[in-house]
Structure 1
Amino acid sequence: MVYVTRGLLDVLLDLAEDAEPKELDVTLSSTPAEKFDTDLGLDPETPVLTHFVLPEAGWPVSAVFGMDIGTPAGRGRARFVTHPQGRLEVTQRDHLAAVVLVAVPPWDERSYAAFDRSGRQLELVVLDVEPPQESLA
Structure 2
Amino acid sequence: MTKTVEDPLSRTFAALADPTRRAILARLTRGSANVGDLAAPFDMSFTAVSKHLRVLEGAGLVSRGRDAQYRPAMLDARPLAAASAWIDDYRVFWGDSFDALDDFLAASATNDDESGERDAQ
**Could you state the TM-score of these two structures normalised by the residue count of structure 2?**
0.25
Identify the structure with the greater helix proportion.
Answer: 2
Return the structure number with greater relative CO, CA threshold 8 A, min gap 6. Answer: 1
Larger Rg: 2
**Could you state the TM-score of these two structures normalised by the residue count of structure 1?**
0.23
